[in-house]
Structure 1
Amino acid sequence: MRAREKSKFSPDLLALLRRVPGEGRQLVSEWEEPAKTPVYGEIDPPLPLVLASWLKRRGIKPYLHQAEVLRRVRGGENVVLVTPTSSGKTLAFCLPVFEHLYEDPQATALFLYPLKALAYDQLKFLRELERETRGKIFPAVYDGDTPGEKRREIRAKSRLILSNPHAMHRYLRYHRQWARFWSNLRFVVVDEAHWYRGIFGAHVAYFFRRLRRVLSYYGADPQFILSSATMADPAEHAARLTGKEFQVVEEDGAARGRRRYLLFNAALFPDLSPFLQAARLVQTFVEEGWQVLCFTGSRKMAELIAIWAGGEEKGISPYRAGYLPEVRRSIENRLKEGKLRGVVTTNAMELGVDLGGLDAVIIAGYPGTVASFRQQAGRAGRGRRESVVVLVATEEPLNQYFARHPHRLFSAPLEQAVIPLDNPYVLSQHLRCAADELPLCPADVAFFGPKLSSCLQDLEKAGLACRMGHRGYVSTEEVPPSLKVSLDAFEEGGVWLLHEGEKLEEVEYRRACLELYPGAIYLHQGQAYEVVKQDLEGRRIYLREAPPNVYTESRRLVEVSVDRLQEERKVEELSLCRGEVTVVEKVVEYVLKRVGSKEEGRSYPLPQAPAVRFSTSGLWLGIAPELLRRAGPGDPAGALHAIEHLLIAAAPCLTMADRWDLGGLSTLYHRQLGGPGIFLYDAFPGGSGITERLFFAFPQLLEVARELVSSCQCEDGCPSCVMSPKCGSGNRPLDKGMALRCLRLLHLLFS
């Protein structure tokens, strides 16, 4: 993405922003992405007449990247298309697929989307294409919402099925009912492939290996076509996701309207929280007649910003995961039809559901990665329509880093996506599913890797599989494992939130332990609820309505122990290690606060709160006491604590993760280290691969952490440098000055 900084702010935007508290003085930078003219591609040999005629009737001339995808797919290659939002990715993969389906009347194709809404959104276009070209393809959505009486018909008739990995993960065990479809499968199209990263990405990667194994049983080896937002090394990401080799198409030929970027540093007006300021921006833009999408980082904040901006009375609604499907679709349709003027969302709307032409996107807090920032910004406008993007910088370190260096939002290299295929929990869960689908034998190492044999022996010892002679290992579980294994959770089954007997939503068990303790305030569709009872054994949380002006913050106790050292680097007084660790997290108290109040709030102890224990991957830095003495006077515990926060805050600059994907611990004495130390750990059982990548990029991590703290103008530490919104000990103790001196020493030693 290229953008150029403007010499002065546009008068129309300044006038608009002066309506917001602070009178626009928070506006620190304005950038412009100029309009882009289209670049078209040549299709040789021509498309079948029926497709070529359809393009001509629609006035569509294929862009350069669409023609290049067609050429490479015709050549038998697996392709990953990496272009911005609204660049015509759907047409790019439809042209080669439909061409083949017209030429081979038996051929089938599977289109997979990360969300149901995306599949239904695309189904309309695909049915129009089929109807107008008179093809006999019968595109259909097949997922959990598909009525039972229609499923048999779709399996028997449809040549193009749209679904999502969650649904197909459940249906793969019934592959014999799909024999016609699987044996003729020529293409697997995976939309929004960048979405599959971290632990979720590992689950989906093993689902694809199970799918390819079943397809091999039916003699099928389809081509894969992936589409993705811009990301670092898309070919490697696609290969880890599917187990196939890919060619990249990334030269975007699509036209685009002018897009203006504003960097709004909310920290310059401390009288109002950054999120209240974001709400006022939403309200102001809506009152101006604009249609607005506002992104924020948490479910709770999506609910709050929507309320503060005026809610349904102003035509503004929250949108997030956890809502019932019919509620989500209603919000999507109302926004597309113009009945809603604003939606405040988590990253759930970062994906490409067609929302029509949005006038503005407000990003309330840097979303954690440059890639996500660009993806969210790309939702503004449509085609050649002009649009505005506002990044509201909070006090958090990375937000202030980009507030001081806005050009880096466009010049910074994109982060690496991580797919931790070596996570033993994920592999084991999918081997259980695979053994239920087809017997597992030694040849399946081609799909599941060298740990297959030892994992199967572990499953046999656990009574989850047994060996059936030369046939291999088969499942012995009474309930199909695919019904118990979730692609986006570690636990088998979640916890239901109940209000007066009505189920509101389901949350993960671990989240229920750490966030839904008795007394916690929880927001759902703009309504505040208080947790009355936590029944984890019965998988139930009981709620009652709470006042709208209160919220809770928890204080946590964290313990980390080293289980296995995998690698160590010694540098003078330092020992940098990575390996396997066990983490114990427990909520010890919570604080009840009032919205808008600066008072500390009242704290309540939680002596009976459950502990969450899990094994994961981590890195740790053992520091000799001598180095702390060399750093000069100060509070060593506060310095180590501040460095821990800074390292976690800096991590998203190097890997496609946010600070919530990592946990940390700092201590002046750790029994296994024999002295002071700092731990960073993957916040998921089995590890997510993030700390492993940070171990190998540790000098760069130190450099970013040092820059975050040294460029902040505060004296004693603030949310823009050493304070963390996820700190379990209330950001105490912290010593900014000593932390900076320690980081300078660490950087010198590692460089």
Structure 2
Amino acid sequence: MEGGGRGLSDLLRKVVESKGGRLIYLYREAEGEPELGPGISGLPLPDKLKSALEAEGIHRLYRFQQEAIDEIEAGRDLVIVAGTGTGKTEAFLLPLVARVLRQRGNRFLLVYPTKALARDQARRLSPLIASVGLRYSVLDGDTPASERRGIYEDPPPFIITNPDMIHIGLAESKEFRELVSEVNAAVFDEMHVYQGVLGSHVKWVIYRLSQVADEVQLIGAGATIGNPGELGAKLFSRDSVRVVTGPRRRRGEAIHAFVDYGRFSRWSFAAYLIAALASEGLKVLGFTDSQQMAELVARLARKSYNARVEVHRAGLPVEHRRRVERELAEGSLKAVVATSTLELGIDIGDLDAVVMASLPKSFNSYVQRAGRAGRRGRPGLVVTLLGDDPIEAYYASRPEEFFSREPDPGYIEPNNPEVAKLHLVALALQRGVLRRGSLPKELEASVAWAEQRGLLKARGDLLAPEWRSAREFISSVGLRSAGPMVKIVLNNKVIGEREMPMALYDLHPGALYYHAGAPLLSSKLDLQSMRAYMVKLSESVSFYTKPLYSIDILEMNVEESRLYGSVSAAYGDVHVRVSVTGYVVKDELSGATTSEVEYEEPITWDYWTKGVALKYPLLDFDTLEASLSAYHALEHVLISASRPVAGASDTDLSGVSYPTGHIVIYDSHVGGNGASRLVYERLTKIQDVAKVIVSSCTCEDGCPRCVFSPYCGNNNKFLSRHGALRVLSQLTSLKSESLDIEEIKRSHRLKAA
């Protein structure tokens, strides 16, 4: 490695080894100039636009930008896939600007996933739009009423907004519906974000938009999508979507490092690493996949290393997040720990280093986070801590395989009934009256529910909204969730909220919960009022908590089934019951369990979601415990193996196993998020990766590097690596056994008894 890259890797080695850690692998990534396309002068663009580009020093486009311009000019629905900072914004913006310059009256929506990102991007887009004498406006929930009236009365060519505003505007505002009815094209930037539950919501928002603007051209743009055509077709509800592919990452150099954190917990070593790199003058952004772990890492950095480290995550006040963004961009703040909130393209200035406390939930997420380091021609440092996790152990021994991976496929669950309920009612408010027979089947399936709840009233084939109750329902449910929300209460004041069922795991009585750096203890979780009551703890606390829980499958309605050799598989609706039975207390530095608490009565909650049921051949294990341990371990490793194969986060999936050889893997979100569908479709490859994990580990019979899971409800009891390997090794020599859903339900009843 040369120059800055060499210096960064040497610095990292010194910092890591001084604390007893170890560099596992270094990878240098260098990206040259994307393939060049035609010169500006030869393009069929208006002279005014050509002059503006040349004034900015842009004399040639990239090849993929020209291809995108051609597709958009032809009016085709399109997805542009290109890395952050490679010019994908210009690829969709230039043809739209050209269209307005040729014919005034054209109108376009530029849609970003959040208000913060939309406003940030507006600042970036404004110079080009203004340089040719055009106008734009930001229209969202924060737009003042007077400014909003001006937009409705004299619409600009470019309206920058977010899906939430489109959702509410279509349902509640005649002026908004009239505004977007004249939209010629809508661009959904950062499209890779629209996965899972949010993606399912956005699919219906786009469907409802197309009911008003019936000839709207749909354009998506994203950095990392493994199946852009398929995801675009699902989100846009269009039969065919074109795809243009640009460079995977920006031009420049990045040093990627895998690090073993040794005897410390990953959280304490991540805190040390962030603090140490910041003390060397680097601007550092740390990432975790958990809000609570982000708080913990920042707290450890402040308490143990006297570093100024701030937190950026959902659930914190907007003013706090904006201050953190501003100070990081200005350079007065050198270190921040974030969740996915800073994964997107919000401008936080140049970053020298990204530190990931664990492998992110998907490879796409890794690429996004890594892309934040080393912008504007400077080399960047990307550090990932690998430790006691099956997939981390898998890639620690196969790092080349990790860095040669293709982007993960995007997935949504279009049939999520909880999502469909919201958009059925919203569509009724939007139109005033619906004809039952013309509704998509996914929305029609929720009609009876909406009538029963007093949200719609039927007159023959016609459906009309009950206006007051329908509006109250729309205002109480957002696009970021499918399950009900639990309010977090401190000193009789609501300070935040958490979606079910995750609220069960984070807010159970006795749970330690961090809010804006302050440690709180849950004293009561009331599922009748959906409120969790907190008390404040001393800043000197030195522990964190993990729930103990059990899962029961109450019912399953099978939609389809198939055989994978000797394994029977079925996919459909799954009725799940979660019972939190207690919790364990862990030391925040070492991660060791210090105590275990069991409730007198479990806290239970049930919900419907999507899932896949599997029936593995029942082998002749010596005891019931041996059988239970084998299939329980197999359940864990299948969920782990779904991460590299399906791009599914292990927090998007949950599971339960039975000594009968039955395993059910289901979506962790109410109504489904699409992850288990990919498990159902890619089971053979998932089993191949699972076999590698359990066969290559050298532990006695199960450890965190093979079959243990940090999300296990019984604290990783009754797990056998050898048992799981035995099942996987004999699949090719055994006959399949029929999958009996009733047998799963009987197992639940025996367990309950």
> Does the pair score TM above 0.5?
yes
Of 306, 322, 336, which residue of structure 1 is paired with 2:298?
306
The residue number in structure 1 matching 2:463 is 473
Task: Please report how far the alpha carbon of residue 731 of structure 1 lies from its aligned counterpart in structure 2 after TM superposition.
Answer: 0.2
The residue number in structure 2 matching 1:671 is none
1:362 aligned counterpart, secondary structure: strand
The residue number in structure 1 matching 2:252 is 257
Matches within 5 A, 1:12-51: 13-20=9-16, 26-42=22-38, 43=40, 44-51=42-49
Q: Does 1:122 align with 2:121?
A: yes
1:105 to 1:608, Cα distance in 2 relative to 1, 3 A: farther
Of 639, 642, 647, which residue of structure 2 is paired with 1:656?
647
The residue number in structure 1 matching 2:748 is none
Unaligned 5+ residue runs, structure 1? 669-674
Task: Please report how far the alpha carbon of residue 255 of structure 1 lies from its aligned counterpart in structure 2 after TM superposition.
Answer: 5.8
Deviates more, 1:385-394 or 1:407-416: 407-416
Aligned amino acid, residue 430 of structure 2 = E
1:749 to 1:423, Cα distance in 2 relative to 1, 3 A: farther
1:81 to 1:715, Cα distance in 2 relative to 1, 3 A: same
Q: Does 1:197 align with 2:195?
A: yes
Of 143, 156, 160, which residue of structure 1 is paired with 2:153?
156
Q: Does 1:344 align with 2:347?
A: no
Task: Please report how far the alpha carbon of residue 750 of structure 1 lies from its aligned counterpart in structure 2 after TM superposition.
Answer: 8.8
Question: Any conservation in 1 of the 2:408–2:646 contact (CA below 8 Å)?
Answer: yes
CA distance in 1, matches of 2:685, 2:177: 51
The residue number in structure 2 matching 1:70 is 69
Task: Please report how far the alpha carbon of residue 202 of structure 1 lies from its aligned counterpart in structure 2 after TM superposition.
Answer: 0.7
Structure 1 stretches (4+) deviating beyond 6 angstroms? Answer: 631-634
Matches within 5 A, 1:312-323: 314-323=307-316
The residue number in structure 1 matching 2:285 is 293
CA distance in 2, matches of 1:79, 1:120: 24
Matches within 5 A, 1:729-744: 729-744=714-729
Q: Does 1:415 align with 2:412?
A: no
1:86 to 1:687, Cα distance in 2 relative to 1, 3 A: same
Unaligned 5+ residue runs, structure 2? 737-753
The residue number in structure 1 matching 2:740 is none
The residue number in structure 2 matching 1:223 is 217
1:571 to 1:12, Cα distance in 2 relative to 1, 3 A: closer
- Over the matched positions of the two proteins, sequence identity in percent amounts to 32
Q: Does 1:456 align with 2:450?
A: no
1:482 to 1:318, Cα distance in 2 relative to 1, 3 A: same
1:186 to 1:678, Cα distance in 2 relative to 1, 3 A: same
The residue number in structure 2 matching 1:93 is 92
CA distance in 2, matches of 1:750, 1:262: 45
1:399 aligned counterpart, secondary structure: helix
Deviates more, 1:454-463 or 1:522-531: 454-463
1:255 to 1:706, Cα distance in 2 relative to 1, 3 A: closer
The residue number in structure 1 matching 2:138 is 141
Question: Any conservation in 2 of the 1:88–1:254 contact (CA below 8 Å)?
Answer: no
Task: Please report how far the alpha carbon of residue 399 of structure 1 lies from its aligned counterpart in structure 2 after TM superposition.
Answer: 1.0
Q: Does 1:235 align with 2:229?
A: yes
Q: Does 1:363 align with 2:348?
A: no
1:597 to 1:225, Cα distance in 2 relative to 1, 3 A: closer
Matches within 5 A, 1:47-58: 47-58=45-56
Task: Please report how far the alpha carbon of residue 323 of structure 1 lies from its aligned counterpart in structure 2 after TM superposition.
Answer: 1.0
Aligned residues: 724
Deviates more, 1:22-31 or 1:384-393: 22-31
CA distance in 1, matches of 2:225, 2:111: 20
Q: Does 1:518 align with 2:514?
A: no
Question: Any conservation in 2 of the 1:47–1:99 contact (CA below 8 Å)?
Answer: yes
1:572 to 1:323, Cα distance in 2 relative to 1, 3 A: closer
1:749 to 1:289, Cα distance in 2 relative to 1, 3 A: farther
1:290 to 1:726, Cα distance in 2 relative to 1, 3 A: same
CA distance in 1, matches of 2:333, 2:561: 55
Matches within 5 A, 1:404-443: 404-439=397-432, 441-442=434-435
CA distance in 2, matches of 1:598, 1:725: 11
CA distance in 2, matches of 1:444, 1:306: 54
Q: Does 1:692 align with 2:677?
A: yes
Task: Please report how far the alpha carbon of residue 598 of structure 1 lies from its aligned counterpart in structure 2 after TM superposition.
Answer: 6.0
Q: Deviations over 1:335-360 (max 9, x none)?
A: 11111111111111111112222111
Question: Any conservation in 2 of the 1:64–1:252 contact (CA below 8 Å)?
Answer: no
Q: Deviations over 1:517-558 (max 9, x none)?
A: 222110112211111233443443222222331211110021
Q: Does 1:558 align with 2:551?
A: yes
Question: Any conservation in 2 of the 1:647–1:705 contact (CA below 8 Å)?
Answer: yes
Q: Deviations over 1:490-534 (max 9, x none)?
A: 245x33323234432222243333421222110112211111233
1:482 aligned counterpart, secondary structure: helix
After TM superposition, the score normalised by the length of structure 1 is 0.90
Task: Please report how far the alpha carbon of residue 203 of structure 1 lies from its aligned counterpart in structure 2 after TM superposition.
Answer: 1.1
CA distance in 1, matches of 2:591, 2:220: 49
RMSD over equivalenced CA pairs, Å: 2.7
1:551 to 1:452, Cα distance in 2 relative to 1, 3 A: closer
Q: Deviations over 1:586-615 (max 9, x none)?
A: 111112333225653232233345311012
CA distance in 2, matches of 1:97, 1:175: 26
Question: Any conservation in 1 of the 2:8–2:381 contact (CA below 8 Å)?
Answer: no
Question: Any conservation in 2 of the 1:571–1:750 contact (CA below 8 Å)?
Answer: no
Deviates more, 1:594-603 or 1:204-213: 594-603
2:480 aligned counterpart, secondary structure: coil
1:413 aligned counterpart, secondary structure: coil
